[in-house]
Structure 1
Amino acid sequence: MTVLSILDLSPIAQGSEAAQSFRYSLDLAQHAERWGYRRFWLAEHHGMPGIASAATAVLIAHVAGGTSSIRVGAGGIMLPNHSPLVIAEQFGTLESLFPGRIDLGLGRAPGSDQRTARALRRSLTSDADEFPQDVAELIDYFSAEPRGAVRAVPGTGLQVPVWILGSSLFGAQLAAAMGLPYAFASHFAPQQMMQAIELYRATFRPSAQLSRPYVMLGFNVFAADTDEQAHYLASSAQQAFINLRSGRPAKIPPPVANFMQQIGPSERHLLEQILSCSAIGSPTTVAAQIADFIAHTGADELMIASNIFEHAARLHSYEIAAQVISSVPV
């Protein structure tokens, strides 16, 4: 059976604030633990009115402290924003607090616009082109006998699992060359998904961390008791994507009935591209759509995103996904 995990941005809905989002993230993780999800990942984004997970390591500690068995991690940390040593110390601390439960996914995008990236780093001398070297440096900090003179305390010898995240062929090549598990952002950037998967699997080199290729794919699920209700709930995420791509990022809006019929052809085409890796519908509909996606991609693991306005409806969507996965052929 394909493994299910959760990607959470600690979304901030209209009429709400970050403090409430943090409570909802912990509640979702506690439910996910009972429903059998393997991981609960939080993503680094900055300057986004609808996303509260900017201080990702802090929020991981909040979620891990309120759960007992589910793996908690970053999906991901945008490494060009940080010194590899700082991330090694942060995740060494998390691993020391919650041994055997921490994951570290790494991306090379800033997770923000250029002005915010400059504010984060104070300069733009840290370049995404340095990402492979930064990843290697970070992994070395976690090794039992680091090659460099500097030690991460805590961090040294803790062997925190490192993942490469990506939405292009670059991440696939790097993950394969370094023998690391690969997570593709198909839940919002699916265009190169199959090329990236094939490249990663074809060129994978075994490492001390991983003996064979392992692919996790982002996948949106908007599940409800009926198809009509699910499409209604999905309209919040659809509105949010249009706002973001139009340069108007905002808090998560409430759902709108028949939203797809109210927008123009260009916006509809945009959503069909961005959200092509999605399941929207009743339990029966969602089960069939998930099965088709797994059969097409051979994914080892799906990281489910359900960006739904109301918390109770969001919980129900994740619960349905967990229930139907048992009926999906391996």
Structure 2
Amino acid sequence: MKILPALAFLATPALAEVPVLNVLTYDSFTAEWGPGPAIAKGFEATCACKVNYIAAGDGGAILSRLKMEGAGSEADVALGLDTSLVEAARATGLFAPIAAQPNTLPVPFADTEFQPYDWGWFAFVHLKSLENPPANFKALAASDLKIVIQDPRSSTPGLGLVMWVKAAYGDEAGSVWKDLADNIVTVTPGWDEAYGLFLKGEADMVLSYTTSPAYHLIAENDDTKTAALFDEGHYMQVEVAGKLKAAPNPELADAFLAYLAGTEAQSVIPTTNWMYPAQSAPLPQGFETLIQPAKSLLLSPTEAEALRQKAIEEWQAALAQ
């Protein structure tokens, strides 16, 4: 039977839908100024697919959402957990093994389920005009400087801070927090609020990253800010991505993780996420002005999980007095 041209489309299979990769991540990653848009555009050019970001606050919110949704999560990839949360994420049983990718972190890092994509050192950022910035937590506690920090129960930088104190001082951490308590102006739910208060002049220093001054220098041509170099060492945040076992598009998830580790995606990180790339990549002019800690502190995921609750309780006890 001859098919009329006008009706021919009725006899042909429907065009295949473009596959969608769902990436559960944090708000700032997906922002127009964050790394998400450029990474999505670059990956889409290689995959004939669409990247859909699902924003969920920060790393703690990502983990909470995964726990709530379980195997019913629509996400293929979770991006934005860090090493303080990795063991709790692993314990959910929701993550699948992934192909190992090399990295150039300052400390050894290898994991069968979580792939690093960026890292940074936590630090207290302040104006360069600040006289005699403290060289460690004890000097900070002995000063009359006012600081803004983030809540470790809701913020990955806040959690990084309590792990920093714990890694540096061990059993003395509770005592250090007691001494620091009167320096703390306020505790905010997340990084944005804390940094905003610092920029408004509400505090002398704010918990952030050694790389934060690079943003002001490169994006704003502002060289008035720096970070205090602490002689106990600086705790690292290593941000990771992983593939969900129930990923609707597991092959796309694998391809995305491989792309995330490549030069094209890694080169986006320094001036969008304002962190160091996990792979060796050229850094933009301005990064050479940043402080360079002589000692990197990082608890393993299992150590961090074992100490996390105690570290938070020590912080809570000191601030409750």
Structure-1-length-normalised TM-score: 0.27
- Give the structure with the higher percent helix: 1
- Give the structure with the higher percent strand: 2
Q: Relative contact order: is structure 1 or structure 2 higher (C-alpha 8 Å, sep ≥ 6)?
A: 2
